[in-house]
Chains A and B, each alone.
Chain A
Amino acid sequence: MGSYILKRLAAAIPVLIGVSVLVFFIMAMIPGDPALAILGAYATPENVAKLNADLGLDKPLVQRYFIWLGNMLTGDFGRSFSQNKPVIDEVMGRFGNTLILAGVAFVLCSILGILAGVVSAARQYGLADKAITFIVLIGISIPSFFLGMILIILFALKLRMFPVSGMYLIYGGGGLGDLLNHLVLPASALAVVATGVIARLSRSAMLEVLRQDYIRTARAKGVGERRVIMGHALKAAMVSIIPVLGIQAGFVVSGAVYIEMVFDWPGIGQMLVTAISQRDVLLVQGGVVVVAACYVLFNIVVDVAQAMLDPRIKT
């Protein structure tokens, strides 16, 4: 298992280098000038050229890439001009907030999705199955940002049950209770689509397992239905459900971008949107590299978990 993990980690390095090349050159291709963004509407072409030289943006592109990559390897991601602070501080702070939101949403969608899938499969073609299938279909079809707005109108403005936006009460807030209160709506909006996907795939994975002979054997031997389903069948189905969870974890993190905008959640998605519009090149590059690294790590964790559950996977 150890060598398998090492192998997977080594395979991640070219992926990350590829990501750094892509994000660097795409940012370079996007029209608009960081110097203009700093200087604002009063920027004369002369001042723009001078500031670009000060920022080192007048050097050849390839040279700039290697300078950036080299600095990054020593932990120096540069300085964000729009935030006027080191990129790494801003990115890590924001990423932490995104992980809180995405983490809660992920736990929510995993539990609800698997549960819904199991109930659906256990009562195939029954009322519960039909109801769940219907709800799941709606959940998958509603864009999460739109659902977010509906949740705000309903639960924050009409019923006044939860705050509209933000992460903590803006004055005198803080603490876990305050955080959870602010998490309910954005995490729910973020979880809905993934819940639907997980529910559908869990249902079919469960149905496949339930058709197996050993389940029939277990039932014939008088094992209780609950144990058959939760013990035998679910454990076997998890082998096909876990990779889905891994993919959904990635979707939840990327879906957080919209949700963070709607709920004004101070996460990395919101940071990236603002940074792109401000042409804060270093902040965008740093943010994307960190998110990509995390994505790659997710996949490794999923692969390892799958390998541990299923001995047929060659380690």
Chain B
Amino acid sequence: MTLFNWTRRAVIAAGAALALAPLAASAQTPEGVLIVGQVAEPKSLDPAAVTAVNDFRILVNLYEGLTRYKPGTLEVAPGLAESWEVSEDGTEYTFKLRSGVTFHDGTPFNAEAVKFNFDRMLKEDHPFHNTGPFPLAFFFSSVEETTAVDDTTVKFKLSAPYAPFLSNLAYPTGLMVSPAAVEAGGADFGRAPVGTGPFKFVEWRANEAVVIDKYEDYWGEPAGAQAVVFRPIEDANTRVAEMIAGGIDMMVEVPPTALSQFQGDEFNVVEQAGPHVWFLILNAKEGPMADKKVRQAVNYAINKEAIVNDVLEGTADVAAGPTPPAFAWAYNDELSPYPYDPEKAKALLAEAGAEGASLTFYVTEGGSGMLDPVAMGTAIQADLAAVGLDVKIETYEWNTFLGNVNPGLEGKADMAEMAWMTNDPDTLPYLALRTDAWPDKGGFNSGYYSNPKVDELLESARTAVDQEERAALYKEMQTIVQEDAPWVFIANWKQNAVTNDRVENFSLEPSFLLQLEKVVKK
């Protein structure tokens, strides 16, 4: 009996402890401190060394570039450079820098600092080139030389005219880091970042949080929040639960299926289309896809409306061609997507003699910008089966997938999923649709598409300095590529985020960058 009593006492004590526990439950997040739920731990906070949007979301609040994107657009506006001049032949850019700007560590921001940044990334003999690798340095590969003319003037000499240059300067890869901090930190610079932005770095607790504070001596308008905490929560369900419980004030990349949980006054769901294309690379070199009719047939056979509405729950739009509509000035709005027309697809397959063909389809399990690749892949497989194509799916983990796809599909597969997020209408087609971008030439044209006219248009567009002229060239390119169908154009993602009602002045940018300087947290 005594034993039983003892146990009963323990149970009562445990019950009492549970009842008292609410007193200790998680408090609301503090005023002025914005807590952001991120999808992963950042790799590094060195802007030249990273490629992931997840890392960029932190970086753009710590650092600034010579140019930046005008809020709400992808147009280039002055940043740390007040103005610039481009030489007539388009190979010399002279920037007038903002004066009186200092990095968070007190180092002055000047022309020498700009030179240091570009030389570190581009010159293999630079003493701090070993703080890389710099995977996106090719954004600036046309830069031949950077010269500090005087304290506030810096000149870039390009090897050839390169229209996306100003836009690339606004991309995170072009953000300015403090030379003194790189010299002091070496390879560890990415864990103790120093920039000129509206927030300064405070601490990085491994897998717990990156904390940044308002920089009181900021040259521009001071930030609206006292501090921002970026918290990595890899599991999407846990992120959603933290958002509902009030442990975080904002989360990005809300899973489509969770969006319905954030209806009501307590939360705001924010959406913004960005320069993203989700497509299928078709192997135009060999097999059934070498025939344009078959490539067009699969474009007709896939029900893209159903994919964006049912699989992605309306978080994407149907894509019409290789250029996303977010590049407003360069987008050809006369193009309409291939309609869902299985009968036409069957007719085209019959004409090509490819009825009942067997196809190998590379699908990835996840990956940057890939949305819901397995569900999308199986929906595509079912649509193709409905027109008589026998599609065999091979699924790979993202890095393995890239290791298979980037070197080219030849001898391996007929189609593969892919998605790109870019900052300029040049990047994706130039790197993935030109003949000179076939994998053996170091590009990403893994489906071996080749059309001399497209090559010519892309080369001219990149060297044309006049934007209207560039726009006309891109629009013509889109028409040809849509007709040639080297890809199946599936979706343009609308990024989303959810905030609670204590967050004000927040909007998402088409650049996918998370600019938080104006956000106020009550």
Contacts and interface: CB of A to CB of B under 8 A. Distances in A.
A153 B242 CA distance: 11
Interface in B226-265: 227, 229, 231, 233-235, 237-238, 241-242, 244-245, 247-248
A71 interface: no
B241 A152 contact: yes
Contact of B24 (A40, A181, A270, A271): A181
A83 interface: yes
B238 A264 contact: yes
A162 interface: yes
B206 A47 contact: no
B136 interface: yes
B439 A45 contact: yes
A206 to B, nearest CB: 12
Given A156-B241, A157-B241, A122 B3 contact: yes
A299 interface: no
Contacts, number: 175
B38 to A, nearest CB: 11
B241 A160 contact: no
A169 B207 CA distance: 13
A262 B235 CA distance: 7
A262 B239 CA distance: 10
A143 interface: no
B407 interface: yes
Given A271-B207, A277-B397, A171 B51 contact: no
A75 interface: no
Nearest to B401: A32
Contacts of A166: 208, 231, 247
B453 interface: no
B184 interface: no
A85 interface: yes
B16 interface: no
Contacts of B7: 115, 119
B238 A164 contact: yes
A236 interface: no
A163 B25 contact: yes
Given A41-B51, A46-B442, A266-B206, A165 B191 contact: no
B173 to A, nearest CB: 10
Given A85-B191, A229-B3, A264-B235, A32 B403 contact: yes
Contacts of B71: none
Contacts of A306: none
Contacts of B237: 149
Contacts of B234: 261, 264, 270, 274
Contacts of B235: 261-262, 264
Nearest to B19: A161
A230 B402 CA distance: 62
Interface in A254-294: 261-264, 266, 270-271, 274, 277-279
Nearest to A123: B4
B505 interface: no
A169 B2 contact: no
Interface residues of A, number: 69
Nearest to B208: A266
B206 A40 contact: no
Interface string A28-57: 000111001111111111111001001000
Chain B's interface size range is 35 or more
Nearest to A160: B25
Nearest to B244: A157
B441 to A, nearest CB: 9
B99 interface: no
A169 B147 CA distance: 48
A200 interface: no
Contact of B26 (A83, A163, A266, A277): A163
Contacts of A32: 397, 399-400, 403
A171 B3 contact: no
A82 interface: yes
Contacts of A36: 399, 402-403, 406
A172 interface: yes
B238 A262 contact: yes
B190 interface: yes
A192 interface: no
A271 to B, nearest CB: 7
A84 B229 contact: no
B188 interface: yes
A84 B242 CA distance: 28
Given A171-B229, A264-B235, A279-B399, A40 B51 contact: yes
B35 interface: yes
B187 interface: yes
A39 B367 CA distance: 13
Contacts of B444: 42, 44
A93 interface: yes
Given A165-B238, A270-B207, A274-B234, A38 B420 contact: no
Interface stretch (B40-48, B108-116, B341-349): B40-48
Nearest to A85: B191
B245 A41 contact: no
Contact of A170 (B18, B187, B208, B402): B208
A284 B127 CA distance: 31
A46 to B, nearest CB: 5
B233 A93 contact: no
A314 interface: no
Contact of A171 (B4, B33, B52): B33
Contacts of B443: 44
B214 to A, nearest CB: 14
Interface string A67-91: 0000000000000001111000010
Given A31-B397, A157-B241, A171-B209, 8 more contacts: A40-B51, A41-B51, A48-B403, A82-B43, A123-B4, A156-B245, A162-B25, A263-B238
Q: 4 nearest interchain CB pairs?
A: A40-B51, A163-B26, A32-B399, A266-B207
8 contacts: A47-B133, A84-B44, A85-B191, A157-B244, A161-B18, A170-B208, A225-B2, A226-B3
Interface of B: 1-4, 7, 10, 18, 21-22, 24-27, 29-30, 33, 35, 40-41, 43-44, 51-52, 133, 135-136, 138, 187-188, 190-191, 206-209, 211, 227, 229, 231, 233-235, 237-238, 241-242, 244-245, 247-248, 367-368, 396-400, 402-403, 406-407, 420, 439, 442-444
Interface of A: 31-33, 36-48, 51, 54, 82-85, 90, 93-94, 115, 118-119, 122-123, 128, 149, 152-153, 156-157, 159-172, 177, 181, 184, 224-226, 229-230, 261-264, 266, 270-271, 274, 277-279
